[in-house]
Amino acid sequence: MKFLYIGSHGSEDPTRAGLNLRSAQGAKEAGHDVEVFLYGDAVVLFIEAVAEAVIPVGFPAIKELLAFMRENKIPVYG
């Protein structure tokens, strides 16, 4: 199955910012095709310094989630 996860939250709400990335990670680990689209406030997550500083509650840090996306060749659009 193919999934597109869409995120619009950035550093102003770390947990919501990580929700779509963590969901995409779980879907990929389950063997699905995954893509992620970030828009609005979420595009700041592409800035390395921001990604390092944003730590969601109950999820891995944004920088770790984005690293997973890169390592697994998951397209992340913005």
Residue-by-residue DSSP string for 13-77: SHHHHHHHHHHHHHHHHTT-EEEEEE-GGGGGGGSHHHHHH---TTS--HHHHHHHHHHTT--EE
**What is the model's pTM?**
0.92
Q: What is the pLDDT of residues 18-67, one digit of tens each?
A: 999 999 999 999 999 999 999 999 999 999 999 999 999 999 999 999 99
Burial class (CB in 10 A: 0-12, 13-18, 19+), 71: exposed
Here the tokens at position 62 are 């944004």
Question: Nearest CA to 65 among 49, 45, 40?
Answer: 45
pLDDT of residue 33: 98
